[in-house]
Amino acid sequence: MQDQALFEYVLRLADDSLILGQRLGEWCGHGPILEEDIALTNISLDLIGQAISLYDLASELEGAGKNHDQLAYLRFENEYKNVLLVEQPNGDFAMTILRQFFFDAFRLPLYEALMQSPVAQLAAIAAKSVKETRYHLKHTSEWVIRMGDGTDESHERAQAAIDHLWRYTSELFFEDNIDEQLQERQLVPSLKGIQANWMETVKAVLSEATLTIPTNNWKFEGGRQGRHSEHMGYILADLQYMQRAYPNMEW
């Protein structure tokens, strides 16, 4: 391996996209109205597309001759490095939209910064994904505002989703020596700045939605190091089913 740190970094991005895309895929055919069913699937498709590009880059960096599917499908649970937020169950529409909103508000400034990365392939993926993500954030923000400032029931559901998901948001800005090393080499941005930007977006949208930010900032973390929630095993059972049940076949 040429660049273990960069490989790990890209893998984290890829796993976030894959697992969230996988979760959104569960909605297909079950959305609250046809128009929104189609919208959620579009976001899922963007995320799966991003995951493919990111895994391609990761496999190039790894240099072990694995393709994107082998990376996406054939690791053990503790080798997936996505944040806990993206593996949380869809719950109701409010839970799904808030999960997506928190993620989009993080991904947008991150991609914007990564566009400046001297790692050309990463900058290119960021440049393509930033447009998709800007749209996702717009769409999820619209919905957060409508739910928050809609009916009593929608307000309650949105607030409950925020209260539940808040514990998983700090992990978005988790940094360890992989990040430090890459930041020192000026290949990736510091997540401190991204976090400030995220907080600004969250505050603005939640305030327009008449929703409140929880005061309990106790953190749930572990995903970035491969320690997941109980949900992850089931996600992988579905995701990997075909590859595990029928090893070494092409589909």
Partner 1 sequence: MTQAEQERRFLDKIDREIKIEPNDWMPDEYRQTLIRQISQHAHSEIVGMLPEGNWITRAPNLRRKAVLLAKVQDEAGHGLYLYSATETLGADREQLMDDMHSGKAKYSSIFNYPALTWADIGTIGWLVDGAAIMNQVALCRTSYGPYARAMVKICKEESFHQRQGYESLMKLCNGTPQQKAMAQDAMNRFWWPALMMFGPSDAESTHSDQSIKWKIKRFTNDELRQSFVDATVSQAEILGLTIPDPNLKWNEERGHYDFSEINWEEFWQVVKGNGPCNKERIAARLKAKQEGLWVREAANAFAKKRAMKKSA
Partner 2 sequence: MSTTQWPLWEVFIRSKQGLNHKHVGSLRAPDATLALENARDVYTRRSEGISIWVVESANIHATDIDDADSFFEPSDTKIYRHPTFYEVPDGVKHM
Instruction: Report the 3 state secondary structure along 30-88.
Output: CCCCHHHHHHHHHHHHHHHHHHHHHHHHHHHHHCCCCCHHHHHHCCCHHHCCCCHHHHC
Question: Residue for token digits 């978005």?
Answer: 172
- Min CB(146)–partner 1 separation in Å: 4
How many Å apart are CA 228 and CA 76, to the nearest integer?
Answer: 11
Q: Within positions 31 to 90, which residues make up the interface with partner 2, using CB under 8 A?
A: 33-36, 38-39, 42
Instruction: Rule CB under 8 A: say whether 243 interacts with partner 1.
Output: yes
Per-residue mark of binding to partner 1, 36-55 (x: CB under 8 A): xxx--xx-xx--xx-xx--x
CA distances from 111 to 15, 77, 194, 240 (A): 15, 26, 10, 28
Q: Within positions 128 to 147, which residues make up the interface with partner 1, using CB under 8 A?
A: 145-147
Among 93, 102, 103, 166, binds partner 1 (CB under 8 A): 93
Among 72, 85, 105, 211, binds partner 1 (CB under 8 A): 72
How many Å apart are CA 100 and CA 20, to the nearest integer?
Answer: 8
Given partner 2, partner 1, none, residue 29, with its beta carbon under 5 to 8 Å by kind, binds partner 1
Given partner 2, partner 1, none, residue 28, with its beta carbon under 5 to 8 Å by kind, binds partner 1
Instruction: Rule CB under 8 A: say whether 152 interacts with partner 2.
Output: no
Among 138, 203, 227, 244, binds partner 2 (CB under 8 A): 138
Cβ neighbours of residue 99 under 8 Å, at least 6 residues apart?
A: 20, 23, 85, 86, 88, 161, 165
Residues that bind partner 2 (CB under 8 A): 33-36, 38-39, 42, 138-139, 142, 146
